[in-house]
């Protein structure tokens, strides 16, 4: 049987979403240029914000249970104090947790991936695994990881569209990150630092 060749993306005619998918790549070199609060707002919204559908969010969730919790560590955002914030999707608001500069501690918790400390801000995705496992038992665990992947990809694509650099970080010390964010029963799944590229 002959191969059926598919039409390749025409980058000249590509739409905005196709261009973001085509151009997305991991960037680990961050400039000191500040990032606007509204840019952070768009990125966090793409991960867990509310949509047109009542009680639904920008990424799918098994059983519409929504076990993901998002935290922001800000270092260089205009009109936002440096600190740690918890994202409240239904209010589209940031709930302040701790004041201060924490990107160095974050980089240490990520096994000294030092570029992370230069991020204008970082978003940490944590999961409330018990919430989904109550309905889906052990299989619920994989659903929470799948949902975090959706959130990471949305943030990557919208960051590309906004000309912001980012990379998904999976290498970190769970305990250090849980202590830094006071996560309690929630477990960290992914870290994404954001900044303009150097
Ligand atoms: C689950 C996951 C974990 C990752 N962890 C790290 C990490 O800890 N540090 C890092 O620099 N990159 C990390 N990456 C980024 C990969 O190295 C990167 O996606 C890969 O090299 C492909 O490059 P691209 O993203 O530019 O296409 C991770 C990516 C994924 C999906």
77 lines ligand 1 (CB under 6 A): no
CATH class, domain 33-195, is alpha beta
Binding site membership of 28 for ligand 1 (Cβ less than 6 Å): yes
Percent share of the chain, pLDDT over 70: 100
Q: 27, 153, 159, 170: which to mutate for ligand 1, most atoms within 8 A of CB? A: 170
For 11-34, the pLDDT digits (tens) are 999 999 999 999 999 999 999 999
In 3-state terms, what secondary structure has residue 95? strand
Q: What is the mean pLDDT of residues 59-78?
A: 98
User: How many angstroms separate the CA atoms of 8 and 123, rounded?
Assistant: 34
Mean pLDDT of 30-43: 98
**Per-residue model confidence as pLDDT tens digits over 111-158:** 999 999 999 999 999 999 999 999 999 999 999 999 999 999 999 999
Q: Give residue for tokens 């059926």.
A: 4
Up-side HSE of residue 20: CA atoms within 13 Å toward CB?
15
pLDDT for position 75: 98
> Residue 111 CA: which ligand 1 atom is closest?
8
Cα(191) to centroid(ligand 1), Å: 11
Q: What local confidence, expressed as pLDDT, does residue 69 receive?
A: 98
- Tracing tokens 């025409």 back to the chain, one arrives at 10
pLDDT of residue 197: 97
From its phi and psi, is residue 184 left (phi > 0), alpha (psi between -120 and 50) or beta? left
Closest ligand 1 atom to 115 CA:
11
Angle formed by the axes of helices 129-136 and 139-161, nearest 10° = 130
Looking at ligand 1, which residue's alpha carbon is closest to its atom 23?
26
Query: 189 C-alpha vs ligand 1 centroid, how far in Å?
Result: 13
Enumerate residues 6+ apart whose C-beta is below 8 A from 193: 30, 103, 106, 115, 116, 119, 121, 122, 166, 167, 169
Q: What is the mean pLDDT of the chain?
A: 98
pLDDT category at 99 given cuts 50, 70, 90 is very high
Q: Return left, alpha or beta for 85; rule: phi > 0 is left, psi -120 to 50 is alpha, else beta.
A: beta
What is the C-alpha separation between 103 and 9, in angstroms, rounded?
38
Confidence of residue 63 (pLDDT cuts 50, 70, 90): very high
Q: How confident is the model at residue 183 (pLDDT cuts 50, 70, 90)?
A: very high
Sheet holding 93-99, edge to edge: 93-99, 83-88, 68-74, 121-127, 187-195, 165-166
pLDDT at residue number 100: 97
Q: Encoding tokens for residue 158?
A: 């919208």
């Amino acid at each position: 049987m002959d191969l059926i060749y598919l039409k390749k993306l025409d980058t000249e005619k590509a739409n905005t979403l196709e261009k973001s998918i085509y151009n997305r790549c991991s960037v680990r070199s961050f400039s000191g240029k500040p990032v606007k609060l509204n840019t952070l707002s768009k990125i966090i919204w793409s991960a867990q914000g509310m949509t047109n559908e009542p009680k639904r969010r920008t990424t799918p969730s098994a059983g519409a249970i929504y076990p993901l919790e998002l935290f922001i560590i800000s270092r260089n955002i205009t009109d936002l104090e440096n600190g740690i914030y918890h994202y409240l999707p239904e209010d589209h608001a940031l709930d302040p947790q701790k004041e201060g500069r924490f990107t160095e501690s974050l980089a240490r918790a990520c096994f000294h991936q030092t570029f992370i400390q230069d991020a204008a801000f970082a978003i940490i995705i944590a999961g409330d695994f018990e919430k989904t496992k109550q309905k889906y038992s052990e299989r619920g665990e994989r659903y929470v990881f799948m949902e975090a992947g959706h959130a990471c990809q949305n943030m990557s694509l919208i960051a590309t569209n906004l000309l912001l650099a980012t990379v998904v970080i999976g290498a970190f010390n769970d305990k250090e990150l849980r202590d830094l964010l006071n996560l309690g029963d929630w477990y960290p799944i992914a870290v994404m630092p954001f900044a303009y590229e150097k």
